[in-house]
Amino acid sequence: MSNRCDYSIKQIRRLGCLFCYTRRMSVTSRVDYNPAEHPRTVTDKAFRISLYLKGLDGLLEVIGGVLLLIVNPDEINRWAARLTQGELSQDPHDFIANHVLKSAHDLTGASLVFGAAYLLSHGVVKLVLIIEVLRNHLWAYIGLIGVTSLFVIYQVYRLIDKLSFGLVVLTIFDLIIIYLTQKEYRNRKMHAASLAETKAS
């Protein structure tokens, strides 16, 4: 009888240890899980895709900023003329072609330096924040939300001054990124709190 009781107590202890270990591993895996790196839900996948698109946007901005610094303004004008020549020959009033030509002509002197600095600063900040989000650093989530919010405010200001379809699309895309980022940030905070509570117990 005594041997049976001892055996039952040992089994209960083993089951208790196994339960505690399984619970701790479950919480830990949820906290270590990075939705930006290994998406599981539709929201996670949308978050990862939006990060990649924003990262591509940042990379293109950096490339554009570098090109503005190293390429002669006259060369930019020649490129713009070649790109729009065919379209303008068919429709001299084409909005996009004329907008490209006007933008190229405006890129001279101080405006050229400002444009390069604007693109480089925005591109570098975006790339750094997105890389850190992918590395699962919580501070980067807050930084990405803050920086993207500033972009949205500036873009809305420009839209009030002059309506632009491309800027409307970009603003909507940024708002989606803000929503997905804050959603994932709250999930990460909840998981971190669960891990801390489990370790404390």
Share of the chain above pLDDT 70, in %: 70
pLDDT > 80? residue 169: yes
The size of the chain, in residues, is 201
In the chain, what percentage of residues exceed pLDDT 90? 18
- The two tokens of residue 17 are 């240890």
Q: How far is CA 175 from CA 11, 67, 128, 172, in A?
A: 55, 29, 19, 5
Q: 74-98: per-residue pLDDT in tens?
A: 777 777 777 777 776 777 777 676 7
What value does the mean pLDDT take over residues 25-50? 63
Q: What is the pLDDT of residue 140?
A: 92
Residue 190's alpha-carbon distances to 43, 64, 138, in angstroms, are 17, 39, 12
Q: Which among 151, 155, 148 has a CA at the least distance from the CA of 180?
A: 148
In this predicted structure, what is the pLDDT of residue 170?
86
Query: Has this prediction a pTM greater than 0.75?
Result: no
Helices (H) and strands (E) in the chain, counts: 7, 0
